[in-house]
Amino acid sequence: MSAPKLVGLAGSFNRPSKTRALVEDVAGRAIDRYGFDASIYDLTDVGPSLGQAQWRKELDETARHILDEVANADALIIGSPTYKGSYPGLFKHLIDLIDPHELRAKPIIITATGGGDRHALMVEHQLRPLFGFFMAHTLPTAVYASDRDFTDYKIVSEPLSARIAEVVGELSAFFRHSNPALAAAE
Ligand SMILES: Cc1cc2nc3c(=O)[nH]c(=O)nc-3n(C[C@H](O)[C@H](O)[C@H](O)COP(=O)(O)O)c2cc1C
């Protein structure tokens, strides 16, 4: 049986990026636990054709490939920086190019970063309804990280690490059988 496919999508074009670091941390733990085959992308990977494209067919090959990977993934980790209390417009534009049926029933871990705690509920008030439109399975625990949770783009906060462990555990409802140890414990 081939490994299930996990795709992480960070809605930041900064390098380095706290959002990408967060998505990579969540992905690393999910790989350890469930043996995913994983790819991680950010808006710099998607590239400049995104801003010009009104339709998916107008994207260049690289950007189209990334959206195909997102659509075909068995699970997604979405990460977004907070811009003005919400996700960046360019990130939303990428999501706008996904057909409504492509994320239906897909398990999605939603995560975000922001400068402080003021907009911590953006994961609940912005990201969760966005993926609710697609009728995706956003996992119950959403993860928000602020600047002080990172040192040199590495997560240094114990409470944040515990929250990440929680949401990675919630994937077991979908991927129990991908991990022989979990399956044997049944
Ligand atoms: C245009 C812009 C708007 C921002 N607006 C907010 C905001 O409303 N609330 C907040 O907490 N942080 C805000 N920030 C800070 C970023 O969300 C924060 O630095 C984020 O972690 C950057 O992620 P990155 O390192 O992945 O690019 C803003 C940053 C920029 C550039």
Q: Which atom of ligand 1 is nearest to the CA of 42?
A: 26
Q: Which residues line ligand 1 (CB under 6 A)?
A: 12, 14, 17-20, 81-85, 113-116, 118-119
What is the topology classification, in CATH, of domain 5-174?
Answer: Rossmann fold (3.40.50)
Total-model pTM: 0.96
Going by C-beta distance under 8 Å and a sequence separation of 6 or more, which residues neighbour residue 130? 87, 92, 95
Give 172 Cα–ligand 1 centroid separation in angstroms: 31
CA–CA separation, 104 and 92 (whole Å): 18
pLDDT at 1 (0 to 100): 72
Give 19 Cα–ligand 1 centroid separation in angstroms: 10
**Six-digit token string for 118:** 């003021």
* Average pLDDT along the chain, 186 residues, taken 10 residues at a time: 94 98 98 98 98 98 98 98 98 98 98 98 98 98 98 98 98 84 64
pLDDT at 183 (0 to 100): 66
Domain range list for the chain = 5-174
